[in-house]
Structure 1
Amino acid sequence: MTKLFVHAKLLIDGINDTPKFDQLISIEDDKIKAIEDYHEIQEDVIEVNTITPGFFNCHVHILYPVGFDSKKEFSLIEKIFYAQKHCKDYLQSGVTFIRVVGTEENYDLQIKEALQNDVIQGPHMYCAGKVICMTGG
């Protein structure tokens, strides 16, 4: 069993209208077990300024770099590397859930499966699957 203790100087829990100050968060086996007013304990404590709930990004193109030239053709391996990079970048920026708005060949569903099987790390995903759009669209 792994235990982790975090002292949040500011905690925005997404439930209450006002933030909480000086909270002790107890985590066991990757699950939050308790949140209480901060008090000294005989364990190592991670000090953080602010904790918030994870953020959602509801319009994601997972396979391509941001601002790409639409005339460039990407190989499948390039798309895979961009998808892996985006997944890592989302987590590091606090995004814990993304909605992928479609990919060719259901690649987004395959990326989601890789995440679920711990092949790569990234946020939870809601996937559209194969794109259907108008010509030139």
Structure 2
Amino acid sequence: MRYFLVITLIFLFFRSEASGQGELLCCDFYRILNTSGNVLLLDVQSKEEYQKHRIPDHIYAGQKSILLDVVAKVNKKTKILVYCTEGKRSASVLEILKKRGYTNVFHLKGGIIKWEKESFPVDSTLIEIP
């Protein structure tokens, strides 16, 4: 019985670790963004969300056609950081990119809302998108 419990706990630990794969806390996202050389930062917010706040030095890829066009131009080993408003859309994009063979993709846990709450740099200048 004790053996079974230990095996079950080990299984649950590794399963939870794997499900969070590619998900970064704000501090880790910021560190990678500012210390890694060749990083592609993708904003996948909706247009309405994007108009309100953005992380500086990003590329807007909030529509699937734009996203696929942007990533088609980069090496599949390029480090790609993805964020959205709350972290749900960026998690989906992470899975899409992994299925397409991109091997170095991460997304921001909690999205730009968490990023702002933790006082990381944000461009909140209101802009219009055609």
TM-score clears 0.5: no
Larger strand percent: 1
In which range does the TM-score fall when normalised by the shorter chain?
0.3 to 0.5
* TM-score where L is the length of structure 1: 0.34
* TM-score where L is the length of structure 2: 0.35
